[in-house]
A = this chain, B = another copy of it.
Amino acid sequence: MPVVTVTRRLRFNAAHRIHNPALSDAENTAMFGKCNNPNWHGHNYTLDVSVTGPVDPVSGYVMDLGHLRDLVEREILDKVDHRNLNLDVPFMQGINPTSENLVVAIWNVLSPQVTPARLTRLRLWETEHNFVDYHGESA
């Protein structure tokens, strides 16, 4: 059976502030500049969720993309869309909401729930000019 990767793109809008509470205000300003604005700023995020597996010979699908969309909407978008990533999101409590930390947290929520397909990539666009990729790897 051929193995294919299918990707669903979803979008959400959120406020955040890049801030490490373990550092002083001066250290946060030095490290994060205008991204540390205490009154927040925000983004239109784009999230590409990729799952990989054999193509089911009955459905012709790796995974029903409608089910994948519903899963991501329920587990992620309902919790982050039109919210504050520092204050409102259970799975980001105590985590500095850089794109890197956010994509890892989303992975940890979604990864157990797409079986029998495998979550193989998350791409998170913060703006039109930067994005992060995570494949579940550690060093």
A-side interface residues toward B, CB under 8 Å? 1-11, 13-16, 18, 20, 22-23, 31-35, 37, 39-44, 50, 53-55, 58-62, 65-66, 81-84, 87-88, 95-101, 103-104, 127-134, 137-139
Contact = CB atoms under 8 A, between A and B. Distances in A.
A23 B127 contact: no
A28 B65 CA distance: 16
Copies of this protein, total = 6
A31 B59 contact: yes
A134 to B, nearest CB: 5
B7 A137 contact: no
A67 B6 CA distance: 28
A128 B44 contact: yes
Contacts of A134: 2, 4-5
